[in-house]
Amino acid sequence: MTQKVFKNIKNIRELKNISREFVAGELGMSTSGYGKIERGEVDLNVSKLFKIAKILDVPVSFIFKFDVDTLFNDIK
């Protein structure tokens, strides 16, 4: 996975106002372990990526193509 994927997971979670603790609990892992995913410190397998997408209520493809900068392009 690329750093962009890890960053997108974090950005989507934050924009949806979902806590790291909640996502970690849904995944059955510690908050610090989940934090390592968001920081790209651990390998993310496909099945866990699908679980994260489900928790965030977005398609997996959205995680790959999401660009937070486009949300604020019109604000100037």
Q: Which domains does the chain have, with CATH numbers?
A: 3-71 (1.10.260.40)
What is the pTM (predicted TM-score) of this model?
0.88
- 46/21 Cα distance (integer angstroms): 21
- 42/73 Cα distance (integer angstroms): 32
12-47: pLDDT as tens digits: 999 999 999 999 999 999 999 999 999 999 989 999
Give yes or no for residue 68 having a pLDDT over 90.
Answer: no
